[in-house]
Amino acid sequence: MLLYQDLLTGDELLSDSFRYQELFEGCLWEVPGKWVQQGPVDFDIGANPSAEGGEDETIDDQAVRVVDIVDTFRLQEQPAFDKKQFIGWIKKYIKLLTEKLDAETVDVFKKNVEPATKFLLSKLSDLQFFVGESMGDDAAIVFAYYKDGATNPTFLYFSHGLKEVKC
């Protein structure tokens, strides 16, 4: 199994069990998430206690719906950015990230980060913002949005900000 950690904080953000599609020559990864139910599950075993003279027992339903990626990697939702805040964050993130990348990777990243950023800016009002468990100030942000009426969120990651770790 492969885990993908935030290159800057070491937080686990993704694994290879989630398929992704590359956007902007691999600068962004688009990962479909889905809502799942957690908690007690009511199993119907075919018994009818009230018909058999017993009481009808009800199960205390503590089930909750969570998004698989958010729950699995303990992502923490952050307040939304306005355009000025987003541009400030992206400039800082690009600077921090380019210091960690090798020369060849930096060239590919810099070539594609501008169109990727424009894409994110075009969706800014629809995005949710998540960071890893440590909630580090310099952490990568994972973006989520709902595509054209979809019921499940789609997540966006800057792929160059992820470090692959074998488990």
| pLDDT at residue number 8 | 93
Contact between residue 143 and residue 120 where contact means Cβ atoms under 8 Å apart? yes
| pLDDT at residue number 42 | 57
- Report how far apart the first and last C-alpha atoms of the chain are (Å, whole number): 5
| pLDDT at residue number 31 | 97
pLDDT digits (tens, 9 = 90+) for 9-23: 999 999 999 999 999
**Structure tokens that stand for 126 in this block:** 């629809």
- d(CA 152, CA 94) in angstroms, rounded, equals 29
pLDDT digits (tens, 9 = 90+) for 72-126: 999 999 999 999 999 999 999 999 999 999 988 999 999 999 999 999 999 999 9
Dihedral angle computed from the Cα positions of residues 17, 18, 20 and 26, in that order, rounded to the nearest 10 degrees: -70
State pTM to two decimals: 0.85
| pLDDT at residue number 43 | 56
Domains annotated for the chain, with CATH where assigned, are: 2-35+69-166 (2.170.150.10)
Helix, strand or coil, per DSSP, at residue 77? strand
